Amino acid sequence: MAGTDSGLAADLGAELAKRGIELGPVIGRGAMAVVYRAFDARHDRSLAVKVLSPDAADKEGAARWTGEISAVARLRHPNILPLIDSGATASGAEYFLMPLAEGETLRARLQRGPLPIPEAVRYAREIAEALAYAHAEGLVHRDVKPENTLLEGGHAVLVDFGLARWMDPDASRSRFQSQVGRVVGTPAYMSPEQLAPAGSIDGRADLFSLGIMLYEMLTGAVPFPSSSMPGLLMERLTGRFEPVTALCPRAPVLLDRVVGRALAPDPAERYDRGETMVADLILVERQLSGAVIASALRFRPPLWGWVAGGVVALAAIAVVLALRMPVSRRLDPNRVVVADLQNETDDTALAAIGAMASDWISAGLTAIPGLTVINSSLVFGAPRQDLDRRITSATGPGLRALVDSTHAGIVVSGSYYRESGRLELFAEITDAKSGRLLLDLGPFRGPPAHPDSVLVPARDSITAFIRARRAGKDS
């Protein structure tokens, strides 16, 4: 090995010297590649040089290497380590150049124990954002794990796309196909479909791996501890693991919901898109920052606005009442205002669910490109009965002022009731200009102690409808 490394280093050093780059020491080693530190004097910057190991330069290794370069070269995201350039030495050793992350891997950080909860959630959200971007580009990573997560300056960066695969255009639901009979990845972080030979996977497998990583960051342990392949698969298929809050009592209950959904055995029950997981993690971050009181039933957020991409665009307007409004001028169909839901339960302990629902729906809608989402403290109900619900001038100026101030072309509103001990939620989407009811949803039913059981399906239904409507208009 020493002789091989020496020859490889001499060969690589000579090639890089032609480009004004000085080769430094080995800083990492994997099954396929060696990573060196380097310094680019021309641009006064440190680099990482990843070179294909001669032992891995067979047909399969070369194909993976080419695939990684192809994948990373087209990805441009702040939480994905970019490729600067690639090349080959005189003897044919292939390499590529990346920025040098001066921090440590998440694995190295975990060796010192669990992370602070806000830090763990931030890292998980940033990797979920990176995965959402990669999946939208048609790529599944297939090896999301602490070793492939770099921490630098308080942020997480996803690396090593050596096992990544492009979308199969002939497969349904944008699925990705492994080689028949091959299990590819790191077993401790694989989804059940990855552990099954010839399993067909998509981006939800990456989100499963991220769920394991989030659990480990919070608790210091993995949720599925078996060391055998049959044991790992059985643990995942049963879906049983100790709740996060049992091992990390200070963690918000919402984190149990996020991890549970990410680690659902059935892919159809998991997060279908990285953006949806990002939205839930943003809510956790807001709760941890003090914007949300720990108990969901005491939840009352401050007034604030959402914009697609998660940037605040407008302060929400504090107005109360008004169930209908007149046609407003200069309304923007790319703006949606989400009102607090009306509490029809006669139970003041459940009053905060209306604001919580508005928050969750707003967070879901921010994943839609080009859409401005404004979160409001205005209460705007949706009756149970299927009435001719049109926005009229009969109920006062509250919503009229809101729409005139925000120029939102779409209004999302709703109400919730208590029936036979269960929570019932109704929602509607209205065209603010014409007053036409675009969609009537509900009832969504669940236990009052777990409002997320109704808020999640309501949010997902509203987001899916608006996404589909916009896609139809664009086509």
Angle value at C-alpha 79, between 78 and 84, nearest 5 degrees: 65
Task: Please list, residue by residue across 384-423, b when 16 or more beta carbons sit within 10 angstroms of its beta carbon and e when fewer do.
Answer: eeeeebebeeeeeebbbbbbbbbbbbbbbbbbbbeeeeeb
Query: Using an 8 Å Cβ cutoff, are 32 and 53 in contact?
Result: yes
Q: In what order do the strands lie in the sheet with 33-40?
A: 21-29, 33-40, 45-52, 94-99, 85-88
Quick one: which H or E segment has residue 76? none
Burial of 242 (0-12, 13-18, 19+ CB in 10 A): exposed
Distance of CA 323 to the CA centre of its chain: 34
Asked if 198 and 178 count as a contact pair (C-beta separation under 8 A), the reply is yes
- Beta carbons within 10 angstroms of residue 74's beta carbon: 12
Does residue 349 contact residue 297 with C-beta atoms inside 8 Å?
A: yes
Catalytic positions: 143
* Whole-Å CA distances, 199 to 82, 180, 240, 261, 463: 29, 8, 21, 20, 30
CB 55 within 8 A of CB 34: no
10 Å CB burial of residue 230 (0-12, 13-18, 19+) is: exposed
Give the separation between CA 416 and CA 444, rounded to whole angstroms: 9
Hey, what are 232's tokens? 């790992």
Angstrom distance (rounded) from CA 9 to CA 95: 12
DSSP 314: S
Q: What is the CA radius of gyration of the chain?
A: 25
